[in-house]
Amino acid sequence: MKLKNLKNNFLGNNNFYYETIDSTQKEIWRRIENNTIKNGTLVIADIQTDGIGTHGRKWYTDCSNNIAFSSYIECNCKIEKLNGLTIQIANILQYIFEKFYNIKLDIKEPNDLYYNGKKIGGILTESKVLGEEIRYLVIGIGINTSQTKFNSELEEIASSIKNEFNIDIDREKIIAEFCNCFEKAILERINN
C-alpha cells in the first residue's frame, strides 16, 4: 500500500498490506524473529482473523476499510524515555480525527478511544527490553471506522465512526498522518 502524504524519514515508508491476516501484531513479531524487518515497517490489513487487544483479549476486524495496522520502531533508549507513550499515541489519534473530520473522540486511559460511551478503537504497545533499555516497540492500532455490525458480546460496548457519524474515513490519510505525527514524537523522546 502506497501511503500518500508521508512527510517523514522512516515510519511507514516500508509497509506490507494484507487483505486477510491472522494479526498485524503477530506478523510484525514473525518478521522480527526472522530478521526480515526494517525500522519503521508497517503491517496493514483489511481483515484480522485473530487480532490482539490488550490483556490477551481478541480485537475484531472483520470487514474491510477499518484501520488495523502495527508498526515496528527501533528505539534503543532508556525505559523512562517512553513513559506515557500509549496515552501520547491516543492523543495523536484524537488530534488527527478532530483535524480531518471534526470528530472529538474520548480517551479512556491509557489505550482506548471512545465515543458516546462506546469503544471505537484501541492501542496495543509491546516492547523488547534488554537490561535498562527498550530496544524496539511494536505498536498495534485498531479503529472501527466502517464496521456497522458487531457480534452480540460487543454490540452494547463497541461502535464505529460509520455508525456514529455516517461518514466514510480515508484510512490511508489517517495512517499517513499518524506516521508523520508519531515519528516526530518518538524521535523527540529518543533523542532528548
C-beta of residue 173 within 8 angstroms of C-beta of residue 186: no
Pairing mode, strands 15-21 and 42-52? parallel
Is 25 a residue whose pLDDT tops 90? yes
Q: What is the pLDDT of residue 60?
A: 58
- For the record, the C-alpha cell of 111 comes out as 489505550
Q: What is the pLDDT of residue 83?
A: 95
C-beta of residue 134 within 8 angstroms of C-beta of residue 75: yes
Angstrom distance (rounded) from CA 59 to CA 61: 7
C-beta of residue 51 within 8 angstroms of C-beta of residue 142: yes
- For the record, the C-alpha cell of 121 comes out as 478503537
- For the record, the C-alpha cell of 139 comes out as 505498536
Q: What is the pLDDT of residue 169?
A: 93
Is 2 a residue whose pLDDT tops 80? no
Tens digit of each residue's pLDDT (9 = 90 or more) over 149-158? 877 777 778 8
User: Best-predicted range by mean pLDDT among 119-128, 144-153, 156-165?
Assistant: 119-128
Q: What is the pLDDT of residue 62?
A: 62
Tens digit of each residue's pLDDT (9 = 90 or more) over 96-121? 999 999 999 999 998 999 999 999 99
Angstrom distance (rounded) from CA 74 to CA 102: 33
Q: How confident is the model at residue 53 (pLDDT cuts 50, 70, 90)?
A: low
Domains in the chain: ranges and CATH:
15-138+146-191 (3.30.930.10)
Question: In terms of Cα–Cα distance, which of 181, 146, 143 is closest to 64?
Answer: 146
- For the record, the C-alpha cell of 36 comes out as 526480515
The residue that leads in pLDDT, 49 or 104, is: 104
Angstrom distance (rounded) from CA 139 to CA 127: 8
